Amino acid sequence: MSETDPAARAFEDLCAEMTVLRRSVEALPQAWRDNRPPDYTEDLARVVKAMNAVSTRMKAIEDTPTLKMTPQAYGQGIRQAGLSACQE
């Protein structure tokens, strides 16, 4: 085959492309290690802990009897307290 043979030139080009491709594939594991995203496990654990604490406090607030009172019952309680204060 001569130097100007199109088949020989195409084969050489293919070999060059395969070399580049092989080097790229070989470099992938290191690139993945170098570009690994940060580990947010500790930050997320702190957020979850804080949210659980807030949830516990909110549950305690929700369970207070005052919040379960209707406006009419609340008004009745104020009236009763006022009457008691006047009677004393």
Q: Decide: helix, strand or coil at residue 22.
A: helix
Residues 6+ positions from 8 with CB-CB distance below 8 Å: 1, 2
Q: How far apart are CA 60 and CA 67, in angstroms?
A: 11
State residue 3's pLDDT score. Answer: 63
Q: Structural domain boundaries of the chain?
A: 1-36, 40-88
| N-term to C-term CA, the chain | 121
* Structure-token match 């204060």, residue found: 85
Please give the chain's pLDDT, 88 residues, in tens: 456 799 999 999 999 999 999 999 999 999 999 999 999 999 999 999 999 999 999 999 999 888 888 889 888 989 998 888 888 7
